[in-house]
Structures are given as C-alpha cells and as structure tokens.
Amino acid sequence: MKTLISVLVIFLGISSAALVCAAQTIQVDITPGHATNRFVPNQALGAGVDRIAQEAIDKDLVQPALDRALSSGWQPVSFRQNTELAVEAWHWNPQGTWSDASGKGYFTGSANPTEFLRYSYGYSLPHRGFTRNDGTDNSGFSRLTDGDAASYWKSNPYLTQRFTDESDSAHPQWIVVDLAQLQQITSIQIKWAEPYAVRYIVQYWTGDDPIKAATRGVWQTFPGGVITNGQGSSATVQLAANPLPVRFLRILMTESSNTCDSHGSADPRNCVGYAIYELYIGTTTADGKFHDVVRHTADQEQTTTYCSSVDPWHEPSDLRSTKQAQVGFDLFYTSGVTRGLPAMIPVALLYDTPDNAAAEMAYLQKRAYPVSYVEMGEEADGQYMLPEDYAALYVQWATALHRVNPALKLGGPSFQGVNRDIEVWPDASGNVSWTARFVNYLKQHQRLNDLAFFSFEHYPYDPCRIPWGSLYDEPELVNHIMQVWREDGVPANIPMFITEGNLSSAASETYMDVFSGLWLADYVGSFLNAGGSGMYYFHYLPLQMEHGCNDSPGTFAMFTVDADYQIQQPLAQFFVAQLINLEWVQPGSAEHRVFTAKGDVDDGAGHALVTAYTLQRPDGQWSLLIVNRDQQNAHVVRISFQDQAARGAASFVGPVQISTFGREQYHWQPAETRFMAHDEHAGEHPVVVNTKGFADPDGPIKHADENATRETSYELPAASVTVIRGKIGAN
C-alpha cells in the first residue's frame, strides 16, 4: 500500500487553475509493511561528551549550564575516547597498578570503587612511531627519527603470536617513512633495538601517497631489500646498486628475534614484537661512507614516519597534561548528563591492554552504572591500523570483557567519518576494503557474534569548503555510506550507529549559521530513514569558540559561552535539536515508525529543495519533519496522504501543530573587522568590531495551531525547518 503526500507550491497572485498546473509533490510510502525503520527516541537520538578542558568539565556539568544542554532534547550519551587519537594510554581510573613493581610499564586501573572519579587522563607513549596521525592531537613525534640514540619505537605486543595464537607473519608490522620529495636512494641503516626483525623486507612506493591513497600505487621490493637472517644491532642494507628515486619507503617485518627490550625479561610483553632506535636513509659511496637524507629532530619537523602499531608501555612521567581531561566516570554518571539512561562507553584498545578494559567494565558494574554498548577503540582507520590487526585486538578484548559480563554488547571500529569505503593496501587476495577484511577476520575466527553493532562517525564536508549547495548532498551521503558498509559484509541484523557527527571535523562560523540547523534536520531524518539504529550529536556540552578555517571563529556545540563558560546564547542547531527531539518525535521510550518521502520540488538542476521525513508516532499522530533548503524562496504546501491498499486519499484533519525555525527566527551576524583612520599622521588602524559574531534574532521557535482540512495549506519559509503533526482522515 502506498501513500502520497502531494505538496503544492503556491506563490502569491497565482490563480487556483495555475496552482494545479504548478503543483509540486512529495511522495511518502506509509504502507504498514513498507516502514523503512523503527526506533525508540530515548535509545536512538543521543549526543556525545568528549575530552574537553578540565575547566569546561567543572562549569558544564552543573546547573544552569547542564539544564540548558538537556533542554535540547538529546537522550542517551556516548562517551567519546579521545586519548587514543593522541596516541596515549588512558588511565580511566587514576588509581591502579603498574606491571613493573618499580611503578611503570602496563597500567591497569583499579576495578574497586574507592574515591570519586571526577577526571581521567592520557599518558603519552614513549615508544611512539608516528610523527603525526589523523587524530586530534599532532603535538607528538616519532622516536624513529628523533635523533635520540636511547629512544625507540616498539610495536604492540598484543599483535604477536604469544597473544594472537597466529604466526607473526599473519600480522606483519611496518614502518613507513615519507622523505617529503623524491630522493636518490641506495641504502638504509637501521639501528635495531630489542627485539629486532629476523625477517623483513624494504620496499618503495610507486604511486602518490601510500597513507592517503593506499590503492593508487604498489609497494616494490628493492633489489637488495629481502633480509632473511637479520642479526639486529646496527644494520646497513645495500638496497640497490644504483640510486633509485624514492619518496616513500616501507620496512615490513614478519619474524621477530623475541629478545627482550630495555624493560627487562620479567614481563613477556617486553620480549615480543619489533623495536628500532633510529632510521637513516640515503646513499653509500664507493669509499664506504653513508650519506643520510633523513632529518632527525624531536618534533614534527623531523622526517615523517608512520607505523603499524605502538607498544602501550609507559610510566608516570608520561602524563601529558591535566588541563584537558576525560570526564571521570563517577561525575559522568551522577551529574545528570546521562538522564539515568544507559550510556555508550568506550574502552581503549589501540594503545591499551585487555586487562585495563576489563577492569573498567568491572568498575562500572560494581557502581551499578548502566551501559548500553561498549565501543572498542577510537578511529582505527585514522591511526592507520590494518583491519586484521584491529580485529586481532578486538577478539582479545572481547574475550576479556565477556569474562566480566557475557551480556556486554561490543562494537566498533568507530571510523573517523569519511564518505567513502575505507581502503587499505591489498591483502594476498587483492581485497582492499578495510570493513570487508575486518568482518572476514571475525568470521574466519568464529567471532562475528562478538560484533553487536557497527559504529562510524559522520563528518561529511571539508570544513573550509561548505557552500550552501552542500545541503543538497547530505541525504545521499549518509545513505550511501551505510550501503557501502552493508555491501562490505556487515550483516543486516547488526545495527549501525553514528557515534559522533556534525558538519565537519573542524569548527568554523558555518556551525553558527541557520545552514547548520537545516543540515542537522536532513542528517537525522535521512539516517533514520536509511535504517540507522542510533546517532549521537557532537558536542553535547557548551564549549569555547575555536579559531576555525577562513580565519573565522566557530564551535562544535549548541551554544556560545563567555570566558567563564557561562552560556551567552543558543545556536541554530540547538533550536533544530528541539524540533527533532521535542516536536517531531514523541519523547520517551515508545516505538516510532519511519516512512520514505520523495519530492520533486527542485532547483532546475535536479537538486531537491524540499525534503521531508515522516513518522507514525505512538500517540497516533503523523509527524513530518520538512526542510526547505531554498535559501531565498518560501513555499506554501498542501499535504495529502494516500493509502495504496485502501485506495483512498487522506489528509490532516482537526487540530494540527506547526513548529517552524528559519531565517525569520534566527540570523547569524558574522564576526567582522573594520578599519578607520584616527588622523592624517596615524594612518589607518584596525578597530575590531564583533570579533566573535552573534545571532540576531535568536529564536524562539515559532509555534502555531490550526484546525486542518484537506484544503489547508502550510507555509514553509525560506531556509527553514518545519514540523507538522496531527491526525489524518479520509478525504
């Protein structure tokens, strides 16, 4: 059975006859068996809380700021785990034990509640092999080219045979060096630490960028790049008789000496994997002298290196900073931000231990804090981890967590938010899909049942390139990427969550414009229509302005705040969040059904100007979330419903509630700088006016009630989001 909503666009001065000819339509299939999705608002429409300034934690998780955030209507909370992005170990509980009796090594937080956890912190990893990554913190540096003869990179011990029960060759570890431009190369010097590689190969890349474009090139092994009997120490390898032009070079390690590193033999984790003090790359002349082209410095000016994994060993002095903190679990659960609902909780995985993750879950269990889902690690793709390595860690962590509680619902991998399939270097079968290979690994190890959900982030746009026309893309973007994951092999019965999302990965003034509200409505509506199980708006709590792209200020949050984190005014996404959570849906725990809407109101170039998302609410009302993406023109619409099985038309009848938010209710006044001359001698001096911008008008949402008939028409102002809801009856 198929129902049509006919949308008739009426311009003032057009006759009734002309109106019929100019009719535009949105078709909505509300046949009971054709619902595209079912969801419960207090499970599906949430928001995320991330690592923020410690001062922000103190100011945001108290009244009145917290009530303002809650008034947006978002329900469950996803606790975001930022330390992984900064290549840090997470001490979710500052109290705990170190693996080394002297007070260093591998840390396990205490599972026994003692003191109130208000904050938690990240510890930098001293055996880091990244110069920079795709995370949020790029102030670290690699130990492979830092010029320090005593520091070294070491791979993750949990990716070795001792812990995976697979040959080390099944999880080869690697180093990639970016020489920044083509260099003539014949030789490499590797100053091995312990343990060293017995078998490894040295390769060069034939394409553009093996990290950013993994399928646009091939790794070629140097003529002298195959080493089958490595002896460690300082090894000079003659890679080619004649110089070869090389920018990217890879060392691929497949067999370890299994000798113990500088931390001793007491802990077996110290004696597996691979470790390198320093790398030197260049040429060797006839006189036997080596000529290095690598820049060795302990900052990001060094020659860039990337690595497959990092050993999570660290010590107390590696505490990064107490200015930025993850919210402590006790404060998180008792402050009121979770509304008492089960929360999605992360465990660190890329740079942690399964024991620490298990202790975290045991702590929450002892506190009786409700957990809905457990997200395993943070943005493995942005840390350049190959899917088989992530999957091997996932399996180990799942085993440890399910010992604590077999009912825990685990998932990942929390992709960082791209609009296309994640592709990596091909495996032996030529498969380049990250997701497909991750799912295949779980299947091959009979562990797919440990994947209770699939999670990814959604940041669809380049933050500095967001024209108004980008709005036209959002519904297709979110629908497409979910289809990609399914085609990669994510089973249809595994729910999908967007655990973090907003316009882009960097704040800018676009976030404050009404544009951001229209985007949010399309994003949420299209995600639910495409079958998504839950999304988490980012960021829930009020944050200070950031210095965004194009020299403009911006914020991820729904409010602007002053220097003391006192809320100054709500932003466009706050009002649209209220439309979604308090008007479109019926707040609470009852099930809603979603129906597809397709319109033909376009801009003449095939771009839909009006989109609509339809719900059948548990209170018996039909509710439409309508986005008029036309920046300049209002539309007046007439709505009708048609049930294919009943073969009859219907429309809203009786009381109808209409809620509208658009440019008439909100307009962002951007930051600006004006110049004026004080006198003829002083010249022109900049006088900065309105440096942070403000909204005027700034709400509220416009509410109206009508007594509808089938002839009733409804106005959609230019650049607006409107919710229309009521009961329907036959025409």
Q: Could you read off the pLDDT of 78-107 as tens digits, one per residue?
A: 999 999 999 999 999 999 999 999 999 999
Question: Which of the pair, 388 or 678, is modelled with greater confidence?
Answer: 388
* Residue 190 pLDDT exceeds 70: yes
* Confidence tier at 15 by pLDDT (50, 70, 90): very low
Out of 559, 584, 609, a domain closes at 584
Q: Give the pLDDT confidence score for residue 716 in this predicted structure.
A: 92
In-domain check, residue 616: yes
Distance from C-alpha of 652 to C-alpha of 712, rounded to nearest angstrom: 8
Q: Residue 705 forms beta bridges with which residues?
A: 657
SS3 436: helix
pLDDT reported for residue 691: 66
Structural domain count of the chain:
3
Predicted confidence band at 33 (pLDDT cuts at 50, 70, 90)? confident
pLDDT score of 18: 36
CA distance 245 to 52: 44
* Structure confidence by residue, pLDDT tens digits, 498-531: 999 999 878 888 888 999 999 999 999 999 999 9
Q: What is the pLDDT, as a whole number, of residue 554? A: 82
Residues 30 and 97 in one domain: no
For residue 273, what is the domain's CATH number?
2.60.120.260
Mean pLDDT of 155-179: 98
> Mean of the pLDDT values across residues 708-720?
90
pLDDT at 690 over 70: no
Q: 303 and 411 share a domain? A: no
CATH of the domain at 408: 3.20.20.80
Q: Between helices 514-529 and 474-487, what is the axis angle to 10°?
A: 30
Q: Which residue, of 262, 278, 311, is where some domain finishes?
A: 311
CATH of the domain at 613: 2.60.40.1180
Do 501 and 462 have their domain in common?
A: yes
Q: For residue 320, give every residue at least 6 positions away whose Cβ sits within 8 Å of its Cβ, in sequence order, or none.
A: 86, 88, 121, 122, 123, 124
Q: How far apart are CA 585 and CA 44, in angstroms?
A: 11
CA distance 143 to 129: 6
Is residue 515 included in any domain, yes or no?
yes
As a whole number of angstroms, the distance between CA 731 and CA 709 comes to 9
A 10 A CB-CB count for 621 gives: 17
Dig out the tokens for 26 from the structure.
């949105």
Quote the pLDDT of residue 651: 85
Last residue of a domain, one of 554, 584, 614: 584
The answer as to whether 131 is a domain residue is no
pLDDT at 639 over 50: yes
pLDDT classification of 552: cutoffs 50, 70, 90 = confident
Residues 209, 343 within the same domain: no
Eight-class DSSP state of 168: G
Distance of CA 683 to the CA centre of its chain: 48
Could you tell me if 384 and 477 lie in one domain?
yes
Q: What percent of the chain has pLDDT over 70?
A: 93
Residue 492 in domain: yes
Residue 596 sits in the same domain as residue 631? yes
The reply to whether 116 and 254 lie within a common domain is no
Task: pLDDT band for 650, please (50, 70, 90 cuts).
Answer: confident
Residue 361: inside a domain, yes or no? yes
Distance separating alpha carbons of residues 261 and 232, to the nearest angstrom: 12
Residue 478 lies in a domain: yes
Per-residue burial over 384-410, b = 16 or more CB atoms within 10 Å of its CB, e = otherwise: bbbbbbbbbbbbbbbebbeebeeebbb
Residue whose structure tokens are 């419903």: 641
Same domain, 408 and 283: no
- Quote the pLDDT of residue 432: 98
Asked if the structure places residue 133 within a domain, the reply is: no
CA-closest candidate to residue 610, choices 621, 619, 601? 601
Q: Lowest mean pLDDT of 141-150, 317-326, 631-640, name the range.
A: 631-640
Q: To which residue do tokens 């090139």 refer?
A: 217
Nearest to 278 by CA among 146, 426, 460: 146
- Please, which residues bridge with residue 189 across strands? 236, 280
Residues 601 and 711 in one domain: yes
* Residue range 314-335: mean pLDDT, rounded: 96
> Could you tell me the residue range of the domain that residue 162 belongs to?
153-311
Q: Which whole-number Å values give the CA distances from 341 to 78, 338, 678, in the listed order? A: 11, 6, 59
Q: Given pLDDT bands bounded at 50, 70 and 90, which one contains residue 137?
A: low
Looking at residue 731, what is its pLDDT? 74
Question: Between 354-366 and 387-404, two packed helices, what is the crossing angle to 10 degrees?
Answer: 40
Question: Under a CB-based contact definition with an 8 Å cutoff, are residues 699 and 666 in contact?
Answer: yes
Residues 483 and 351 in one domain: yes
Decide: residue 681, CB within 10 A, 0-12 exposed, 13-18 middle, 19+ buried.
Answer: exposed
3-state helix vs strand vs coil in the chain, percent to 5: 20, 35, 45
Q: Is the pLDDT of residue 360 over 70?
A: yes
For residues 120-148, average pLDDT: 91
Euclidean distance between CA atoms 503 and 572, whole angstroms: 13
Residue 674 has pLDDT above 60, yes or no: no
The mean pLDDT of the chain is: 92
Q: Which runs of consecutive H residues, i.e. helices, occur in 271-312?
A: none
The answer to whether residue 180 sits within a structural domain is yes
Q: 546 or 295: which carries more pLDDT confidence?
A: 295
Question: What is the enclosing helix (H) or strand (E) of 442?
Answer: helix 434-444
**Alpha-carbon span 316 to 89, nearest angstrom:** 11
Which amino acid would we find at residue 99? S
- Are residues 368 and 498 part of one domain? yes
Query: What's the pLDDT score for residue 686?
Result: 53
Distance CA(439)–CA(550), nearest Å, equals 40
The token pair that represents 641 in the structure block: 């419903």
Q: Tell me, yes or no, whether 34 and 46 share the same domain.
A: no
